[in-house]
């Protein structure tokens, strides 16, 4: 009897506290989120000034299936709006244009964000229709897609291309593909600088199940091929060299001695096995799809992988310094094929 009571109480508490995000609208700089049960919701707002990202977190809120995960707005206030739901917390992230101010009002089961230009205070004239996506089945895993570099950090540049641009374009396609089966979070969706440790923190805060970082390699004119990496305390001289370049943007963080990191040995081993297995399949997909040289799967001390609690890999899809490597990735269809190969390799390990 007592057990039944406890069970009932548990069920009651879920009924009492869970809410549903029913509908969202955006028009002329006014975003409205409408909740079904009209209960008081535990909400917190954070604004990242340097990246102009406003994030609203709603505790114990389920997002209705037909609400699109990403809305490309691109008016004078907002670039993109994304909605994610992880472990009972729904997050609406507004990627704002620089100089956009916001005001939040909460009333009777609605949250309204009103945007204006900081300086002139003028109001917008454009409107955007929300296009619902197909209802999706419940997604079990959260995957973080990390486009390497960004903002002041261009990564490697060669042949008139910047690593940060190609990495972002490939990552966006990868994220879109993975969204069919997973909750997907991108560490960046625009050309912004994000410190390496913040990228890992984004994954850890979301309780991510997997982290994949997309990069392009640089080397001498004859260097070519693809390679993948997982985090390892031991590394070969070659792998250390690649890690040194990718870590260089954030040397303050990247150079912290390994001994200062509390790395749980059991998780370290489990993550390493899983990471290496996915890294192998991802590399095989690139090699077989594009005929690139198979440079190998390596363990290395990448700062961005080291800080992530989940299994994590870094993919060097080819050499930006070698035109025949990147030539195949320049078309939309090439990027699409690359992204779908990587996504399918990841799928094999998360189902
Ligand atoms: Zn890179």
- What's the CATH number where 289 sits? 3.40.630.40
Extended strands (E) in 108-223: 110-117, 142-147, 157-158, 161-162, 183-186, 210-217
Residue 80 in 3-state DSSP? strand
Provide the residue range defining the domain that includes 216. 142-347
Q: Are residues 104 and 149 in the same domain?
A: no
Q: Determine the distance separating the centroid of ligand 1 and the alpha carbon of 305, expressed in angstroms.
A: 13
Distance 156 CA to ligand 1 centre (A): 7
Asked if residues 31 and 113 have their Cβ atoms less than 8 Å apart, the reply is yes
* CATH code of the domain containing 12: 2.60.40.3500
Residues 158 and 259 in one domain: yes
* CA 31–ligand 1 middle distance (angstroms): 36
CA of 248 to the centre of ligand 1 (A): 10
DSSP H/E element including 40: none
Residues with CB under 5 A from ligand 1 (ion): 148, 155, 215, 246
Q: Is 43 exposed, middle or buried (0-12, 13-18, 19+ CB in 10 A)?
A: middle
* 242 CA → ligand 1 middle, Å: 9
Q: Which residues contact 235 (CB under 8 A, 6 or more apart)?
A: 243, 298, 299, 300, 301
* Residues 163, 148 contacting (CB under 8 angstroms): yes
Domain co-membership, 90 together with 151: no
Residues 110, 208 share a domain: no
Q: Are 82 and 228 contained in the same domain? A: no
pLDDT given for residue 5 in this prediction: 47
Q: Please identify, among 82, 117, 152, the residue that sits at the C-terminal boundary of a domain.
A: 117
Between the CA of 340 and the centroid of ligand 1 the distance, in Å, is: 20
Distance from Cα 243 to the centre of ligand 1, integer Å: 9
Verify that 157 and 90 share a domain, yes or no.
no
**Are residue 105 and residue 171 in the same domain, yes or no?**
no
Q: Give the helix ranges, DSSP H, for the chain.
A: 2-17, 163-178, 196-205, 237-247, 251-254, 265-290, 303-306, 323-326, 332-347
Tokens of 188: 């960046």
CA distances (Å), origin 93, targets 2, 56, 240, 273: 43, 6, 36, 33
The angle, 0 to 180 degrees and rounded to 10, between the axes of the packed helices 332-347 and 265-290 is 140
Residue 122 lies in a domain: no
Ligand 1 center from residue 161 Cα (angstroms)? 13
Residues of the chain with pLDDT under 50: 1-2, 4-16, 120-136, 259-264
Q: Which of 80, 100, 117 corresponds to the end of one domain?
A: 117
* Inside any domain, residue 137: no
Q: Please give the distance, rounded to the nearest whole angstrom, from the Cα atom of residue 271 to the centre of ligand 1.
A: 22
In a domain, 128, yes or no: no
- H helix and E strand count, the chain: 9, 18
Question: Is 26 part of any domain?
Answer: yes
Same domain, 211 and 337: yes
Candidates 152, 144, 159, 151; CA nearest to 210 is: 144
Q: Which of 49, 83, 117 is the last residue of a domain?
A: 117
Residue 123 lies in a domain: no
- Count of beta carbons in the 10 Å neighbourhood of residue 214: 28
Ligand 1 centroid–CA 273 distance in Å is: 23
Claim to verify: residue 337 and residue 242 sit in the same structural domain:
yes
CA–CA separation, 94 and 66 (whole Å): 19
Q: Is the same domain home to 101 and 172?
A: no
* Per-residue CA distances from 140 to 5, 180, 254, 274 (Å): 30, 12, 32, 17
CA–centroid distance, 150 to ligand 1, in Å, is 10
Q: What is the pLDDT of residue 108?
A: 74
**How far is ligand 1, taken at its centre, from the CA of residue 230, in Å?**
14
3-state secondary structure of 42: coil
- ipTM of the complex, rounded to two decimals: 0.99
- Domain total of the chain: 2
């Amino acid at each position: 009897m007592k057990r039944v009571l406890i069970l009932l109480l548990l069920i009651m508490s879920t009924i009492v506290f869970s809410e549903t995000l029913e509908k969202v609208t955006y028009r002329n700089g006014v975003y409205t989120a409408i909740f079904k049960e009209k209960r008081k919701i535990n909400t917190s707002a954070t604004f990242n000034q340097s990246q102009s990202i406003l994030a609203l977190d709603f505790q114990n809120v389920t997002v209705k299936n037909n609400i699109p995960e990403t809305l490309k707005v691109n008016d004078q206030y907002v670039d993109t709006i994304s909605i994610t739901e992880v472990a009972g917390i729904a997050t609406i992230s507004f990627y704002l244009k620089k100089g956009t101010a916001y005001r939040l009002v909460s009333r009777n089961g609605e949250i309204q964000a009103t945007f204006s230009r900081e300086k002139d205070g003028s109001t917008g004239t454009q409107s955007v229709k929300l296009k619902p996506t197909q209802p999706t089945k419940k997604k079990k895993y959260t995957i973080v897609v990390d486009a390497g570099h960004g903002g002041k950090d261009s990564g490697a540049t060669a042949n008139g291309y910047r690593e940060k641009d190609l990495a972002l374009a490939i990552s966006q396609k990868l994220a879109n593909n993975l969204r069919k089966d997973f909750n997907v979070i991108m560490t960046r969706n625009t050309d912004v600088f994000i410190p390496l440790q913040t990228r890992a923190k984004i994954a850890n805060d979301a309780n991510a199940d997997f982290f994949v970082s997309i990069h392009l390699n640089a080397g001498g004119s004859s260097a070519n091929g693809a390679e993948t990496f997982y985090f390892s305390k031991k590394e070969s001289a070659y792998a250390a060299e690649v890690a040194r370049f990718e870590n260089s943007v954030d040397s303050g963080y990247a150079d912290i001695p390994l001994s200062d990191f509390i790395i749980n040995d059991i998780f370290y081993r489990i993550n390493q096995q899983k990471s290496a297995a996915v890294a192998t399949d991802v590399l095989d997909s690139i090699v077989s799809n594009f005929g690139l040289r198979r440079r190998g799967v390596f363990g290395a001390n990448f700062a961005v992988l080291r800080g992530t609690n989940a299994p994590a890999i870094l993919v060097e899809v080819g050499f930006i310094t070698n035109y025949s490597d990147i030539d195949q990735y320049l078309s939309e269809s090439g990027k699409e094929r690359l992204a779908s190969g990587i996504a399918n390799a990841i799928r094999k390990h998360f189902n």
